[in-house]
Amino acid sequence: MSDACCGGDEAPEPRGEEAAPARLWQVGELRFAAVAAALLLAGYGAGWAGAPDAAGLVLKAAALAVAGWTFVPGTVRRLAAGRIGVGTLMTVAAVGAVLLGEVGEAAMLAVLYTIAEGLEEYSVARTRRGLRALLDLVPDQARVLREGVERTVDPAELRVGDTLVVRPGERLATDGVVTSGHTSVDTSAITGESVPVEAGPGDEVFAGSINGTGVLEVGVTSTAADNSLARIVSIVEAEQSRKGTGQRLADRVARPLVPGVMIAAVLIAVVGSLFGDPLTWIERALVVLVAASPCALAISVPVTVVAAIGAASKHGSLVKGGAALEAMGRIRTVALDKTGTLTRNRPAVVETVPASGHSRERVLAVAAALEERSEHPLARAVLEAAPAPERAEDVEAVTGAGLTGTLRGRAVRLGRPGWIAAGPLAGDVARMQHEGATVVLVEDEGALLGALAVRDELRPEAADVVSALRCAGYRVVMLTGDNRATATALAGQAGIDPGDVHAELRPEDKSRIVGELRGQGPVAMVGDGVNDAPALATADLGVAMGAMGTDVAIETADVALMGEDLRHLPQVLAHARRSRAIMWQSVGLSLAIIIGLMPLALFGVLGLAAVVLVHEVAEVVVIGNGIRAGRTRALGLVSAATAPAREGEPARG
């Protein structure tokens, strides 16, 4: 554990999936605290029952040893390395109490601090799934042409210049450039594009992409250790390491507090001894150390964190620990992925333009008849727009172009502009493409029937969410791998400024832009796919769309929105702002008590027993204040975005 219950200079070693505590009783620190508390009560009970003083002292000493084992060894190791924190002061305070002969008070301090550490450990417990989802995107074997012979090799054996053979439905083992063949490629795992892209000779394709209908030959341009997926893993690991080195609230407060208190105690003992009774002033110096023990400070943050995380989970948001909660309260910019976040990642027919003399229904009917047995991702969109379609006969796929078939004895075709002439609809086709749609044309016996525009549309709540975020003072940015026309069109509908739209991005590009945005203030990145993982890790706060997100996105993120309703985002941000304000209130009260007790202990106004009593009362107060973070309610978009922001505004900086 760290020096402070709420984090130290080093990130704790991640526990495995099986070891991560899911219940309070599974947290080691809390089990130690329970045993120590029982021993301490038994020690006091022995005294009340008239047992020999030695029996009670032994029980209290045992309680101190059990509770102290959870933090004293680690504190000593960190102190030897030159790092100090709340745990350092707690250790010194406990030693001071023992030197004053108050073993029971020392044990009480240790038990309370151990409980604080246990609560923090519980608050940061999470399900760790690793980056295994990325490994699943790379096939176990790759087909390669060497010396004119097709061979099966391990992807790790691929060399730059090799020729991959990729059959329909197979994933690419590494990055490369198409040298032969035409197909549609599903690149959603890498670029986030919701609609497959057409690929032919000269086009770049990426590891993990899924080949559509045609056989491809691909010239390898990257080894398995340096392809798109490998770079994603590298970025995620580096950024998670960066996050792990960041200090958290209690240690930021403790860093100047601990040396200051220790120096003050030494000065009290030395100066007092020069001008008065050395034993009296040494005793007062020890009482000052106990007065400065940060019990309330140590327990205030984890109590607030546990309460706030529990409340957030009731409203569909999983917050992975105190660091995430604190970071969320400081966010100034929200970067949103497009596909699967602002949109549903379900392409739909958004417009049908019939040619002169034909109806919209006829265009959809012919298109659906051809797509009825197609496995192309756009087929579902066409079929949903035209229920109960007929079935065309002799349907054949023309790689990279479209479909041909026969319907009621008539030759029909569906395909991209260029393969089918747009004719009088050329203007409409250009307009729909400019608006970010994928356009297909439908033909009957050589005559143009019409055009269909297919696009991944915004979630119904997207515009309201963006408006709520902007009203709360956040800057909203879109990051996407889709083409600029699609991104600009959808951003306009969502209410995002054109200057805040970044399109045609690779995963490393998203990470780079998030890094640039962080230079202007804390950034939250919201995404759902493998391609978002580097940006999620780079951001001060990563937010995953949990219900539909990939394992790697959920793992990398600090917060997961467990449903598909984007309205949870402004709600959880507002909740975090309020919780952070409560956290600072408790920290301020804890520091005020320490500052108030130290002079009283210095001049002998309060003895050790009175100081410990004040600490106990303070702990009850800060626990009660922290529990307020769990008293939340389901908020509408406007109130969630604005009211908590006003309440928590002093804590934003």
Residue 18's pLDDT is 43
Which amino acid, 338?
K
Phi, psi of 239 (to 5 degrees): -75, -35
Is residue 461 a contact partner of residue 493, using CB atoms and an 8 Å limit? no
Is residue 106 a contact partner of residue 177, using CB atoms and an 8 Å limit? no
Q: How far apart, in whole angstroms, are the C-alpha atoms of residue 548 and residue 545?
A: 6
Phi, psi of 277 (to 5 degrees): -70, 120
Beta-sheet pairing, 541-545 with 523-527: parallel
Q: Report yes or no on whether pTM surpasses 0.75.
A: no
CA Rg, the chain, in Å? 32
Q: How far apart, in whole angstroms, are the C-alpha atoms of residue 364 and residue 350?
A: 12
Residue 611's pLDDT is 79
Q: Please choose, from the candidates 378, 371, 450, the residue with its C-alpha nearest in 3D space to the C-alpha of residue 404.
A: 371
Q: How far apart, in whole angstroms, are the C-alpha atoms of residue 298 and residue 87?
A: 9
Q: Does the structure show a pLDDT above 60 at 12?
A: no
Q: Does the structure show a pLDDT above 80 at 19?
A: no
Residue 474's pLDDT is 94
Which amino acid, 559?
V
Q: How far apart, in whole angstroms, are the C-alpha atoms of residue 508 and residue 192?
A: 13
Q: How far apart, in whole angstroms, are the C-alpha atoms of residue 199 and residue 182?
A: 6
Q: How far apart, in whole angstroms, are the C-alpha atoms of residue 52 and residue 47?
A: 7
CA distance to 31, 35, 46, 64, 397, per residue, from 56 (Å): 22, 16, 5, 12, 87
The larger pLDDT score, comparing residue 586 to residue 116, is at 586
Task: Give 387-423 as a 3 state SS string.
Answer: CCCCCCEEEEEECCCEEEEEECCEEEEEECECCECCH
Q: How far apart, in whole angstroms, are the C-alpha atoms of residue 347 and residue 482?
A: 13
Residue 337 falls in the annotated catalytic set:
yes
The number of helix segments (H) and strand segments (E) in the chain equals 22, 22
Which amino acid, 124?
V
Residue 525's pLDDT is 93
What percentage of the chain carries pLDDT values higher than 90? Answer: 19
Residue 218's pLDDT is 94
Nearest 10 degrees: CA dihedral of 548, 550, 556, 562?
Answer: 20
288-292, 421-425, 454-458 — most confident range: 421-425
Q: Is the dihedral of CA 23, 25, 28, 30 positive or negative?
A: positive
Q: Which two tokens stand for residue 402?
A: 């479209």
Nearest 10 degrees: CA dihedral of 516, 520, 526, 531?
Answer: 0
Which amino acid, 286?
L
Catalytically annotated residue among 162, 175, 251, 337: 337
pLDDT tens-digit readout, 309-350: 777 866 667 777 777 888 888 899 999 998 888 887 788 898
CA distance to 339, 486, 526, per residue, from 380 (Å): 17, 20, 27
Residue 46's pLDDT is 77
Q: Does the structure show a pLDDT above 80 at 128?
A: no
Residue 471's pLDDT is 93
